[in-house]
Structure formats: C-alpha cells, structure tokens
Amino acid sequence: MAKRKITKAAPTAKAEDLQRDTSDGMEQQLTTAQGLPIDDNQNSLKAGVRGPSLLEDHILRDKITHFDHERIPERVVHARGSGAHGYFQVYEPLAKWTKAGFLNEPARRTPVFVRFSTVAGFRGSTDLPRDVRGFAVKFYTEEGIYDLVGNNMPVFFIQDAIKFPDLVHSVKPEAHNEMPQAASAHETFWDFISLMPESMHTIMWLMSDRAIPRSLRMMEGFGVHTFRFINEEGESCFVKFHWKPLLGVHSVAWDEATKISGKDPDFHRRDLWEAIENGDFPEWELGVQIVSAKDEHKFPFDLLDPTKLIPEELVPVQRVGKMTLNRNPVNFFAETEQVAFHPGHLVPGIDLSNDPLLQGRLFSYIDTQLTRLGGPNFNELPINRPLAPVHNNQRDGHMRHTIDKRHINYEPNTLGGGCPYQASMASGGFTSFPEPMEDMKIRAKSEKFMDHFSQAKLFYNSQSKPERNHLINALRFELAKVDTASVRERMIGMLAYVDGDLAHSVAEAFGIPVPEVKLPLNHSIPADTPPEDVQPYDAEPLVKRSKALSMADTIKDNIHTRRVAILADADGAPQAKTLKAALQREGAMVKVIAPVMHPDADHTLMTTPSVVFDAIAVVGSQPWEDLPDAQDFVRDAFRHCKAIALIGGADALFKVWGMPDALKAPGVLIGSTDKVLVKDFIQAIAAHRHWAREKDPVTGKKG
Ligand code: HDD
C-alpha cells in the first residue's frame, strides 16, 4: 500500500485548550479519541490479509467502543423534538411586576434555545401525530438560566403530578406489543381518560386541530401553570405565560396529517430548519396575564388547577416582548438531544406557585437528567451552560468538565477568603416569595378542583363550525381504534357531560345511542360519596365563548413562507415561471413539480405529494388525469381544502373525474396567470383552508 504523507497534528499546548468542547473537523487529520493520528481507517489489524482480526487493535476498539455507546436514553416523554437558537427582547420594563433583569431592559437581547416536541412518540416517530406539542424555552439570562417549559395547549390532562406516570403509561404504545407508535388512538389511553373527568378540558384541545399544527412556527405556546412575578419591593402577583406566533395559529387536516406522516415524517423539523436557513426567522410575542394577589380567589376555578385557563376576556393577554429564532443547531445531538430543561430553573423575579402538577415536576426534571445525561454535571454541557458565571462548592461526579482550581470546597471558610459567599437579596440573590403557610398535612385537593366540565364546555362552545366538526371526527376516529366496547361507551357517556350534541354525533358513528354513565368514582371525588350522589360539579362560567380559543379568526392576511406547488410539465413552464415569480414576491416558497424533470422544475411528482404544500396550481392541458400521482396530488389538495388554481385547461381534470361541482367550490380558481387570478389566488392561499368544502364522513352531508 502506498505510504501517505502524514502532517503532524498541532500540539495541544495551551491549558485552556483542554477545555475545548467543539471541533470543526476542518483541515485536521484523523486521530483516535486520545489524539493519536490514524494511518489506516479502512482496515482492521489482522494476522495476514486473510487472517483473523487481532484483539490488540486498539484503534478498532477505540472506534467501535465509542460507537456502541452513541445513544443515550431518549426522553420518557417528548422524545421527538426539534430545536433552534434565537433571542428574546422585552418591549418595555416590567418593573411594576417583576425584577427579572431580562424582562426589564429593552436593549438587552437574551439568547434562547427552544425545543419543540411531540409527547408520546419515540425519538424517530413522525412529526404529525395527533398530540400535544412541547414548547420549551431556555433563556440564557445574565442572572442565570430561566426555563419556561410549556406546551402548545394551555391546560393539562391531570391535576396532580402523582397521576403523570399513569397518564403516560396509558398513552405510550401498549406494553405487550409496543403498538401503536405515537398515537393516543388505542384503548389503554381511552380506558384511563374515560375514568378521569379532570382530563376532559385537555381532551377537547387534544381532539381539536391544535393537536395537528401546520408548522411549529404557527403554534401558540403556554406556560400552563400559574407562576408568580416578584418585584424589587418584594410584592408578588400571579402570571400566566403565552407565546403568540406572528404568523398566526394554523393546522392541517387530519387526513393530510396521516399522509404527511408517510410522505415526510420530518415535515415540522424540515419546515423549521428551512425557514431559518432561508432567513424567514420565526417570531413569537411573549404575552402575560397578570392577576393581582388580592384577586387570587375571585375566579370560579382555582388558579392552582392546571386543567383551567384564564379566559382572555377576563384577563387580557398583554404582549410584552418578542422571541426570534434565527440560528439552526450545528449538531443535533450536542444541542437538541442534550438540552436539559427544568421548570425549577428560575431567576430572581419569577417564582413558583403551589400548583400540585408543577410541584411534582420540580422533582421529575432533574431526576430524569441523571439517567438521560448520566450524572449531575449535565449543566456543564455547552447547550446547558449558563452565560452567568457559576461559583459553588459542588464537585466531581460523572463527566466533570470544570477543573476546579481551588481546594477550598466548603462554606463557611476562611482559607478561601469566605468565597464563594452567599449573595444578598440586594446583590441579586434568589429569594422565594414568603407566602404564609399553615395547614394540616393532607392528600386532597381544594373544592374548586372538582369542576371538570365548565371549561371543556367553554372550549367546545368557542369553536367555529368546521373546528367542531374536526373535533367530533377526531373522537370518532380515536374511539374507533378502541376494541373494548365498554371503554368506548363510557367515553361517549362522559362526552355528554361536555355537550349533548357532541356526544350524539360521536355515538352516531358507532350506531348507538349516547350511553348514560355515572361519573367514575376516582380520587378526585371523595371516596365516601354514594354513587347516586356523584354529580358533575360545574362552576358557573363567567364567559360563555372565548374568541381566543378558536383558530378561525387568526392572522390570515399574508402568504409569507407559505409553500405553494405548481404542477407543470415542460410546456407549462413559462406560465409556471410567471406565477412562481408573482407568489415569491409575496414571500411564498414556491416549487415547480413535474412528471418528468425539466430545467424549470424543482422536484418530480413521484417524490413530492401535495400534502406538504399549502396550495397548488396546475398549469397546462396535459392529461394529468392519466397519471396516478397527479390524481392524488390534486384530489388530496381538494380534500384538504387548499387553494387550487387551474390554469390553461387544467380545469378539465375535475370534469374528467365526474366532479364538475369542484370547479365552483370555494378556494378553487380557474383562469390564466393574469393579474386578477394571481391576486385571487394569493387571497385564497392566505385564507389557509376553505373548510366549507368539507363533507361529514359519516353522513356525507356538507359542513
Ligand atoms: Fe413534562 C419533558 C412540558 C408535566 C415530567 N415536559 C417535558 C418537555 C416539555 C414538557 C415541553 C420536553 C422538554 C424538552 O424539550 O427537553 N410537562 C410539560 C408541561 C407539563 C408537564 C407543560 C404540565 C403542565 N412533565 C409533567 C409532569 C411530569 C413531567 C407532571 C412528572 C411528574 N417532562 C417530564 C420528564 C421530561 C419532561 C419525564 C422528559 C424529559 C425531560 O423531562 O427532560 O421529566
């Protein structure tokens, strides 16, 4: 074998180099983990060219040993996630409520890392299951790390952390056969839920279109729990956190979601990545709902109950700052996989409440990192490291990075000059709000926690007609995947406590009347209650409908970053080009799709279905109807209620399929690429979806 010239590795002479944690791999020769240059990365060391490999091959073992340990345990929940870097800036100082530095200096850009996730699926599962989405934000503030570990839904399934393992076991794939992946549509989940009336509000959210977002960039975020703000004077108020996306809140259709899962399971991850690479930086405004200490008990629900939201009509959301995501991670594992969030990562000015779900979380997150990241030093990984300096007497442990230069590792001390010394409140030391406490030790909940249905009703009543239809069909779908009739029936009976029509519409799909069910005697109802006395306790809602709970009136005035496909063969290319340019001027991301690649085409039909686009145009009169992929392309776009422009004879398509009515359906435009059509098409895309086209899958009736 020809001898290669070896360039010597640069000596790592400087002490600070020992603390390096990144490697760009550029113009560097290959070495072992110990820095030994490797002469042959193709062949293991053998006893002769046809002989066995030698145990002595330390280079082979160095490589394979590391490879064998490349995986760490995935998160028990939220295993599937996508992350991005960015920054947060407050608009005006919030000093009257909080002393948190990053919420008081408009000039300060606080770096953030955000990880979005699904909950139930494994790490490699699809981005588009029906599921809650995690929305976790790590703020690298000057006062240390602050983590806002929220979801895209403002409420949670259970009221007390002690039920979390039960909830998660029920929704994860079933224990005997590990099916289904990333789906709540199976019977252990619905068995559990039908016995947990407190979950009914979150179930409304989970069955709604919120659970199948169009994009991570088009989701709201919520801190869920009530937290506390504390100002310089030591005064405290309650706060609920919101993230409001500047692109509006949008979702896909359920049939579309299932198809995307097959065609591009990385749909959300890709969408986020591409938007950031293209410079279309996703933005959210941070919103706060503030409740003064004196108003703590004025609502019919308990502020500490995580199954309740505060209707925006009662307490408006004040937009106080903006988060921009402008940088993709360089390495998925080092950043998105190793990032470790914890609701107990707080800064002075923000404190916890006694919400029993939050209290349990405070234990769970550190505990899980010990297993996942291998020990107590996970805070030293680059993605978790605070920008604020860290000085304490915590030492050693698995994978310690810091080389502590002082041997004085206790406090109080004189040998180390008393350092590190305790910070006073005046110098920024964290102090908990001194909430008065005196009560008996008890396993119970406050009475207001027993109100399980009033906000489930509020949510259902606040949905537009198409949104309600989607919710009904989601329940029909999910319960059809339940094999045990008694579980399904109990669940339908439970729905009747939310809304009679809802329960009836779901029951209709199973050909049964709405079963009458007694509320289950679970731990949220006192155990000595006789069954005949178990009545739903419904607080009188102060608001009957809340506009903010529906997506119908979200932002729909632009097509910025919307994905549009133009189906065009070589003959239609000139028209496709004109249309593409016009849509791009409005900020859309446009791709030309062709049956056979041509110079103006970006993708072929075979690899590119319409489900990964927001709108389609078909150009030219070629017999598209003969091509099976083209048929699915157009039919899916029609079924999923997307804007469709048929240009230059393409309208023949629907006629050939015996769907002449489709040509008159809302959102379907016919014409040439003249200005009028382009203008109408842009408007139709901005409207997001034309739900009026939908038919009920059970009755076949419109809307
Ligand atoms: Fe949790 C992860 C959000 C209740 C225990 N949770 C996790 C993540 C998010 C949430 C966004 C992913 C963070 C990331 O991207 O790494 N969790 C919530 C919200 C909850 C909630 C909004 C209710 C309001 N969680 C909750 C409870 C417990 C946990 C009640 C346990 C008692 N959650 C965990 C966990 C995870 C986690 C097992 C898995 C991986 C991790 O923490 O780091 O500890």
Tens of pLDDT along 640-697? 999 999 998 888 888 888 888 899 999 999 988 788 899 999 999 999 999 999 999 8
Average pLDDT value for the chain = 92
Pair of tokens at residue 432: 């908990």
Confidence at residue 530, expressed as pLDDT on a 0 to 100 scale: 60
Among 363, 365, 372, name the best residue to mutate to test ligand 1's pocket (greatest count of ligand atoms within 8 A of Cβ): 365
- Which whole-number Å values give the CA distances from 316 to 242, 289, 319, 546, in the listed order? 11, 6, 9, 11
- Which whole-number Å values give the CA distances from 132 to 45, 254, 353, in the listed order? 51, 15, 23
Of the listed 43, 58, 66, 78, which one is catalytic? 78
* Distance in Å, CA 132 to ligand 1 centroid: 12
Would the CA dihedral through 596, 601, 602, 608 be positive or negative? negative
Confidence at residue 11, expressed as pLDDT on a 0 to 100 scale: 39
At 604, phi and psi to the nearest 5? -100, 160
Q: What is the DSSP string of 223-258?
A: --S-EEEE-TTS-EEEEEEEEEETT---B--HHHHH
Between β-strands 350-351 and 227-230, what pairing exists: parallel, antiparallel or unpaired? antiparallel
Confidence at residue 527, expressed as pLDDT on a 0 to 100 scale: 55
Residue of minimum CA distance from atom 7 in ligand 1: 78
Confidence at residue 283, expressed as pLDDT on a 0 to 100 scale: 98
Beta bridge partners of 695: 702
Averaged pLDDT for residues 352-374: 97
Confidence bin at 482 (pLDDT 50/70/90)? very high
CA distance 89 to 549: 26
Averaged pLDDT for residues 228-249: 98
* Distance in Å, CA 367 to ligand 1 centroid: 11
Minimum mean pLDDT among 56-60, 165-169, 251-255, 528-532: which range?
528-532
Confidence at residue 268, expressed as pLDDT on a 0 to 100 scale: 98
* Identity of residue 454: S
Confidence at residue 309, expressed as pLDDT on a 0 to 100 scale: 98
Confidence at residue 10, expressed as pLDDT on a 0 to 100 scale: 42
Q: Could you confirm whether 393 is annotated as catalytic?
A: no
CA distance 147 to 114: 10
Residue of minimum CA distance from atom 23 in ligand 1: 156
* Distance in Å, CA 82 to ligand 1 centroid: 15
Question: Which CATH topology does 563-693 take?
Answer: Rossmann fold (3.40.50)
Averaged pLDDT for residues 349-354: 98
Confidence at residue 622, expressed as pLDDT on a 0 to 100 scale: 76
CB 303 within 8 Å of CB 296:
yes
CB 659 within 8 Å of CB 653:
no
pLDDT 10s digits, 367-377: 999 999 999 99
Q: End-to-end distance of the chain based on CA atoms, in angstroms?
A: 74
User: H-helix or E-strand containing 603?
Assistant: strand 603-604
Q: Which of 341-355, 563-577, 646-660 has the highest average model confidence (pLDDT)?
A: 341-355
Of the listed 104, 151, 384, 469, which one is catalytic? 151
Q: State the closest ligand 1 atom to the C-alpha of 365, by its place in the atom list counted from 1.
A: 44
- The answer to whether residue 4 scores a pLDDT higher than 50 is no
Confidence bin at 525 (pLDDT 50/70/90)? low
Q: What percent of the chain has pLDDT over 70?
A: 94
Residue of minimum CA distance from atom 21 in ligand 1: 361
Q: State the closest ligand 1 atom to the C-alpha of 363, by its place in the atom list counted from 1.
A: 32
* Distance in Å, CA 368 to ligand 1 centroid: 10
* Distance in Å, CA 385 to ligand 1 centroid: 20
- The answer to whether residue 22 scores a pLDDT higher than 80 is no
In which residue are the tokens 């009739």 written? Answer: 485
Confidence at residue 174, expressed as pLDDT on a 0 to 100 scale: 97
Q: Which residue has the higher pLDDT, 87 or 627?
A: 87
Residue of minimum CA distance from atom 22 in ligand 1: 150
Confidence at residue 306, expressed as pLDDT on a 0 to 100 scale: 98
User: H-helix or E-strand containing 592?
Assistant: strand 589-594
Confidence at residue 536, expressed as pLDDT on a 0 to 100 scale: 61
* Distance in Å, CA 363 to ligand 1 centroid: 11
Beta bridge partners of 114: 84, 137
Among 118, 123, 149, name the best residue to mutate to test ligand 1's pocket (greatest count of ligand atoms within 8 A of Cβ): 149
Q: Could you confirm whether 398 is annotated as catalytic?
A: no
Confidence at residue 419, expressed as pLDDT on a 0 to 100 scale: 95
655 backbone φψ class: left, alpha, beta (φ>0; ψ -120 to 50): alpha
CB 195 within 8 Å of CB 522:
yes
Among 75, 112, 138, 226, name the best residue to mutate to test ligand 1's pocket (greatest count of ligand atoms within 8 A of Cβ): 75
Pair of tokens at residue 94: 């919030």
Confidence at residue 13, expressed as pLDDT on a 0 to 100 scale: 37
Confidence bin at 1 (pLDDT 50/70/90)? very low
- The answer to whether residue 27 scores a pLDDT higher than 80 is no
Q: What is the DSSP string of 108-166?
A: --EEEEEEEEESSS-TTS-S-SS--EEEEEEEEETTEEEEEEEESSSS-S-SSGGGHHH
Residue of minimum CA distance from atom 9 in ligand 1: 134
Residue 73 CB-half CA count within 13 A = 12
Minimum mean pLDDT among 101-105, 354-358, 547-551, 651-655: which range?
651-655
- The answer to whether residue 523 scores a pLDDT higher than 50 is no
CA distance 367 to 164: 15
Averaged pLDDT for residues 168-185: 98
Per CATH, the homologous superfamily of domain 46-384 is Catalase core domain (2.40.180.10)
- The answer to whether residue 533 scores a pLDDT higher than 90 is no
Q: State the closest ligand 1 atom to the C-alpha of 357, by its place in the atom list counted from 1.
A: 30
653 burial type by CB count under 10 A (0-12 exposed, 13-18 middle, 19+ buried): buried
Question: What are the extents of the domains in the chain?
Answer: 46-384, 448-549, 563-693
Q: Which CATH number fits domain 448-549: 2.60.40.770, 1.20.1370.20, 1.20.120.420, 3.40.50.2300?
A: 1.20.1370.20
Q: State the closest ligand 1 atom to the C-alpha of 368, by its place in the atom list counted from 1.
A: 44
CA distance 218 to 376: 35
Q: State the closest ligand 1 atom to the C-alpha of 151, by its place in the atom list counted from 1.
A: 22
CA distance 374 to 126: 27
* Distance in Å, CA 540 to ligand 1 centroid: 32
Strands across the sheet with 563-568, in order?
603-604, 589-594, 563-568, 615-619, 643-647, 668-671
Q: State the closest ligand 1 atom to the C-alpha of 83, by its place in the atom list counted from 1.
A: 15
Confidence bin at 18 (pLDDT 50/70/90)? very low
**Residue 138 contacts by C-beta under 8 Å, 6 or more apart in sequence?**
112, 113, 114, 115, 145, 146, 147, 339, 341, 345, 384
Minimum mean pLDDT among 346-355, 403-412, 534-543, 683-692: which range?
534-543
- The answer to whether residue 621 scores a pLDDT higher than 80 is no
Residue of minimum CA distance from atom 19 in ligand 1: 150
Confidence bin at 623 (pLDDT 50/70/90)? confident
- The answer to whether residue 581 scores a pLDDT higher than 50 is yes
Averaged pLDDT for residues 393-419: 95
* Distance in Å, CA 638 to ligand 1 centroid: 38
Instruction: List residues near ligand 1 (CB under 6 A).
Output: 75-78, 81, 115, 117, 134, 136, 149-151, 156, 161, 164, 224-225, 306, 339-341, 357, 360-361, 364-365, 368
Confidence at residue 203, expressed as pLDDT on a 0 to 100 scale: 98
